[in-house]
Chains A and B, each alone.
Chain A
Amino acid sequence: MPYVIERKPLTLLERLYIPQIIAGMRVTLKHFVSPNVTMEYPEQRPAIPAGYRGVPTLVMDPNGREKCVSCQLCEFVCPPKAIRITPGEIPADQPDRAHVEKGPKAFDIDMLRCIYCGLCQEVCPEEAIFLQNQYSMTGFTRAEMVNDKARLYELGGTLPDEHFKWDKKKAAAEHGNAH
């Protein structure tokens, strides 16, 4: 059922119009002198807080060696099936890494599928995959949006390591545990 709202008549000040303009100008002038809240993206970039979940990357240990052993747990846990790994054997002729035995031959993360959930980082037993600060992934083709192994290491760089698991294994092997 229709009903009618009575419109209040304007006051004199409102009818004068000038005070309303002044009030508006006051707001405008206040923002004129107050500090900026936006930034000149992409020249300026925001500071990324700790624990931010950006693009998943592969990292190397402080000695510049590959940490991933291609256990494929991230591939298994990945909800949108964005990760694809081809496992491979590390040949015996690489003295510093041969004892790791296994490493990825290929490692692809499809960033068109990735949902940035961070489960891959959580599940990784070797602390080799991290969601780091990179948040902007763009490309002109679908193929460009698939990060291959080289690109993942380029994005990931080196992170500090607390464990040096494989160095310890190598030291134990050299020690030989003679009784």
Chain B
Amino acid sequence: MIAPPKPDLVTVNVDGKDIAVPKGTNMIEAARLASVEVPHYCYHPKLTVAGNCRMCLVEMGLPAVDPATKTPIMDPATGKQKINWMPRPTIACATNASPGLHIRTNTPAVVDCRNSVTEFLLINHPLDCPICDQAGECKLQEHSTAYGRGYSRFVEQKNVKPKRTQLGPRVTLDDERCILCSRCVRFSKEVAKDDVLGFIDRGSYSTLTCYPGRKLENNYSLNTVDICPVGALTSTDFRFKMRVWFLKQTPSIDTESSVGANTEVWSREGSIYRITPRQNDAVNDTWMADSGRILYKQVKAADRLVEYSIEGTAALPAVALAKAGGLLRAGSVAIVGSGRSSVEEQFLTRKLAEYLKAPVTLVSRVGPGDKILVSADRNPNVRGALVTGLVSSLPAQQLTELAAAIDAGQVKSVLSIGEDLTAAGLTAAQLAKVPVVYLGTQRNATSESAQVVIPTLTVFEKAGTFVNQQFRLQKFAKAVPGPAGVADDLATLAQLITAAGGPTLASDLGALWAIIAAEVKPLATVTYANLTASGLLLDGTPWAALPFVEGETLHFKPASPVAASA
């Protein structure tokens, strides 16, 4: 890999402190590097600069040079180059750092600017924080505490605007709260590539609206809710459900595709309320797809498997595991692994397969990639199966080989790890021929006909790692406890190996990673604890020749020409 060229650094002075920043950094980011916060609403690091909220006004100065000779003018009092301060404040978001740039963010003039901008923004603001979902994470609320005057001088009537406009199936607009920052407009145009939002009318009549006849219904619409600095755009799903200060944040990974968007799971007392993106500039910036945000609903879905059962009758966990172990011990087992299992589970599945000398197949899920944050491969961890050595080739969509083996009577039992075999091409007649051990979270046709059903946990109820399409190893943490009585997936697999007569393996992440690091060469230096939040890029060259199905997405270009042309 060629290292990117070192960015040119320029020295700027923020509140009297010199700091070197990359050239082209704007003043807000330069100040952030100097640990100085410049309040802003419309500026967003991942969007173009609009410069319309005026909250980031700062004082700016440049080193003085003689216009004729271009020589620096020195200040005799200090012996340094004189600074020409601009007579008026400048917006920090739209001014880039240049050599010797001086910024003052704490002068009375700057504070006065912020106070005045805040007062103007609050003139027509409804101040309905008690019922506003944004309260607690609202920039206007935060900056009003810092720069508001605490009472209103506005004696005229406030503007009244519609309070619950449906902009689309998932987004509700409260027009009164909107401060017209245009972040949502820019996001729709620049990132979602669906330019539906815009402002109409002038002055205090200005209103955010959709293009006539269109709706904000693209798969990225909820990102506008995330970036809205006030409570104007709210998620219809999360609206009035819970105040954000009660919610605990847990870092997680979006499992809807191999992009592996980094997410934050917000839960309270074992219930998940929403999923939002977590910034990872190498994977998903600050965005994620709407379809990944509703995945938490599977946790409390009606079809959730919560009890161990043998032939449809509830059984004790130990009895069900012993029965499954007996089936596996009989030999001629076929294992259907999963590209949705974590790296650790796939490693344990490999150990089980090695012990039983059972063939392992995976089921692929392919859907159209949207070129942003949903890739064509809808399994989050197919590359994890390659890295751990569970499989050596890419999975097929139909289990034709397994079907043929069952028909030929070569298979005595099938272990399915979360895969619906009926959906993967096995007929009911074929399934009736062999006893199936099913490990999964949701009920489906396979679990209905399976001999032994062992419930497992969803991604929100366990910890582990996934390898995304970039071969980036990313970890997710446990957000909520699993259903009562359901064991952790690693424990279940380890017990299954023991029940099948195999060795006793560690089932906690720390101890298991020591084994994984020892046995899996690409992961030799990794432990779960030292894996950072932004993930670890593994070397994917051993698998570069495989025809991966992914097309181009944000921060990902397919290496294989087969996929690029598809």
Contact = CB atoms under 8 A, between A and B. Distances in A.
A101 B160 contact: no
B157 A87 contact: no
A71 interface: yes
A110 B135 CA distance: 26
B446 to A, nearest CB: 37
Contact of A69 (B130, B157, B239, B241): B130
Interface string A83-99: 00001110010000001
B163 interface: yes
Interface range on chain A: under 10, 10 to 19, 20 to 34, or 35 or more? 20 to 34
A88 B240 contact: yes
A177 B158 contact: yes
B265 to A, nearest CB: 20
18 contacts: A69-B131, A70-B240, A71-B129, A71-B243, A72-B242, A73-B130, A76-B243, A76-B246, A87-B241, A92-B164, A99-B163, A101-B164, A101-B240, A125-B129, A175-B157, A177-B158, A177-B160, A179-B205
B181 to A, nearest CB: 22
Contacts of A53: none
Interface of A: 69-73, 75-76, 87-89, 92, 99-102, 125-126, 169, 172-173, 175-177, 179
A177 B159 contact: yes
Contacts of B160: 172-173, 175-177
Contact of A101 (B131, B242, B246): B131
A50 to B, nearest CB: 27
Contacts of A92: 164
B151 interface: no
Contacts of B241: 87
Interface in B210-262: 239-243, 245-246
Contacts, number: 50
B242 A87 contact: yes
B78 interface: no
Contacts of A126: 130
Nearest to A126: B130
Contacts of B130: 69, 71, 73, 125-126
A127 B205 CA distance: 33
B541 interface: no
Contact of A89 (B159, B240, B242, B246): B240
Which residue, A71, A92, A99, A125, has most C-beta atoms of chain B within 10 A?
A71
Q: Is the interface of B mostly helix, strand, loop or mixed?
A: loop
A102 B129 CA distance: 12
A71 B131 contact: yes
A122 B278 CA distance: 36
A72 B276 CA distance: 22
A76 B131 CA distance: 15
Top 8 A-B pairs, shortest CB-CB distance: A71-B130, A102-B131, A125-B130, A72-B243, A173-B160, A89-B240, A177-B157, A69-B131
B152 interface: no
Contacts of A173: 160
B204 interface: yes
A67 B238 CA distance: 23
A179 B124 CA distance: 14
Contacts of B163: 99, 101
A176 B243 CA distance: 30
Nearest to A87: B240
Contacts of A100: 131
A72 B246 contact: yes
Contacts of A179: 204-205
A177 B239 CA distance: 27
Contacts of B240: 70, 87-89, 101-102
Nearest to A72: B243
A73 B160 CA distance: 26
Contacts of B164: 92, 101
Nearest to A128: B130
B158 A172 contact: yes
A94 B245 CA distance: 29
A52 B240 CA distance: 33
Contacts of B131: 69-71, 100-102
A172 B240 CA distance: 24
A92 B165 CA distance: 12
A172 B126 CA distance: 11
Contacts of A88: 240
A80 B48 CA distance: 48
A177 B205 CA distance: 10
A1 to B, nearest CB: 64
Nearest to B157: A177
A173 B157 CA distance: 10
A153 B23 CA distance: 63
Interface in B133-182: 135, 157-160, 163-164
